[in-house]
Amino acid sequence: MGVCGSRPKVVEDLKLKKNKHRRRRRRILRRRVSSQKIEADAAHSHSVLQTSNRASDVAWFDSTSALDSECDDEFYSVYDGEVSASHGDEIGEDRRLTPDHCGMLQNTCLPCLSSNAVAVNEKKRPTSPDAQSSRRKSLSKLSFKLREGSSDMALFSPRSLRQKLLAGSTIPSCPIEKQTPGSWSPLEPSTFRVRGKNYLRDKKKEFAPNSAAFYPLGADLFLSPRKIDHIARFIQIPQINIPGDVPSILIVNLQIPLYPASIFQSENDGEGMNVVLYFKLSEKYSKDLPDHFRENISKLINDEVERVKGFPLDTIAPFRERLKILGRVVNVDNLSLGAAEKKLMNAYNEKPVLSRPQHEFYLGENYLEIDLDVHRFSYIARKGFEGFIDRLKLCNLDFGLTIQGNKVEDLPEHLLCAIRLNKIDHSNFNQIGF
C-alpha cells in the first residue's frame, strides 16, 4: 500500500518539474527572440535615422562648390523623371522653407527663413511611431540626381529654394543731368577716348563712336562676407531674347574688397561688395556696329584664341585677354584732394586697364556675365584703391568696357557698354548672404 501510494506522487512531482522546466525554457526563448527582434528593429531604425540625418545635413549645407556651379540648382527624381517639388512634404513639414522678407532694407528683397513658420511646423510634427516610420521609409526610397556640371552638395543648397532678387532693385536710375546721389544714369559712348583709326601710326586717341553694343538696363549693389562669383544665378534676370548669336543681356559683376590689402597674394577673398551692372543688346547692333567689332564680340563670347607675335616665338593667347576696362572720375575738383592725391588722380584717371587675368566669363541662356575681381589686383593697385574707397560716395564714376584693337583692322575701338554711377555709398546697404 505504502509503495503503491508513493508512486503516483513521484510521477506527479516529475511531471510538475518537467512542466516548470518547459515553461521556464519557453520564457527564456521568448526573451531571446524578443531581444533579437528589438536589436534588429533598433539597428534598422538607426540606419534609417542615419540616412535621414545625412540627407538632412546635406540639405542644409551650402557648399562653396555650389557657388562655382554654372548650372541652376535643379534636381529630378529618378522615378519617371518627375521634378521633386514634393521633396519637402516627404521629408517632413518641419523641413519646409517658407519664403519671407527680412524687412532690413527697403531696396533689398532677399528672402530669409521664417523662424515663426518653423516653430509652428515643429508643433505640427507627427509624434506617432507609425507616422515617423512611414516618413523615414518614404525618405529612404527617394534618390536624386543633378544635371551635369553641378556637385552633390549644390543639390541640397538652401538657396535653391529662396526667391531670387529682382535685377536692378537696389539702385534706381535718373537722367544724367540730375546726377541724383545713389543712382545710375545712361552714358553716351562718345564721352570716352579710345584708340583711333590711325593709333598704330600716331599713337593718338580719339572719342569713341557714339554707338555701343549694349546699353544700360539697371544696377545693383550687394554686400557679402565673401566675394560672389557668377552672381546671375541668384538674380531674376529680365526675360529678353533678341534673335541672333549674341546674348541679349550683358552682366558685369564688379567684385570690390572692403578689407585691408595684404601683401600676400594668397589672401584674395573676404568681405566686400558686388556692384552688378546690367546691359541690354542694342536694337541697332547689326546696323550701327562695323563687321570687325561684331566679329570680335563673337570671338569674346566663344572664348576663341589668337596668335600673338612675340620674340623669339609667337604665342597663342585667349581672345578674352583683350577685354579692357575704362574708368573715370567725373567730378575730381569736388573731392578736396591733396596735392599728391590730385597728381595721382590726374595721372591715372581714365587710364584703361586690361582685365586679364582677374576676370571670369559665364555664359547663360540669354546672358553673358563678366566677373571683374578687384580682390586679385596687385598689392599696389589694391592699396591705392583702399585709400580712395571712402570717397566713392562723393564720386560720379563713369564705367565702360571695350575690346583692345591690336591690328589695323580692329580700329577704331568701339565700346561694349557704358554707364555712370552717381555717388554710390556702400554703407547704406546691409550685408546679405547667398
Q: Specify the number of domains making up the chain.
A: 1
As given in the structure block, the three cell numbers for residue 411 are: 580700329
Q: How does 259-290 read in b/e, with b if 16+ C-beta sit within 10 Å?
A: eebeeeeeebeeebbbbbbbbbbbeebeeebe
DSSP-derived secondary structure letter, 357: T
Note whether residue 248 is domain-resident.
yes
As given in the structure block, the three cell numbers for residue 3 are: 509503495
Strand segments, DSSP code E, in 196-248 are 205-207, 214-224, 235-236
Note whether residue 91 is domain-resident.
no
In this prediction, residue 116 carries a pLDDT of 35
Per residue in 394-424, pLDDT (tens digit) is: 999 999 999 999 999 999 999 999 999 999 9
Higher pLDDT, 205 or 157: 205
Note whether residue 214 is domain-resident.
yes
Per residue in 281-322, pLDDT (tens digit) is: 999 999 999 999 999 999 999 999 999 888 788 899 999 999
Q: How far apart are CA 97 and CA 91, in angstroms?
A: 12
Residue with cell 546674348: 247
Note whether residue 305 is domain-resident.
yes
Domain that holds residue 199: 165-428
As given in the structure block, the three cell numbers for residue 333 are: 575738383
Flag whether the pTM goes above 0.85. no
For residue 307, what are the contacts with CB-CB under 8 A and spacing of at least 6?
Answer: 314, 315, 316
Note whether residue 298 is domain-resident.
yes
Residue 88 confidence (pLDDT) above 90: no
In this prediction, residue 282 carries a pLDDT of 96
Note whether residue 368 is domain-resident.
yes
Note whether residue 142 is domain-resident.
no
Higher pLDDT, 210 or 336: 210
Note whether residue 182 is domain-resident.
yes
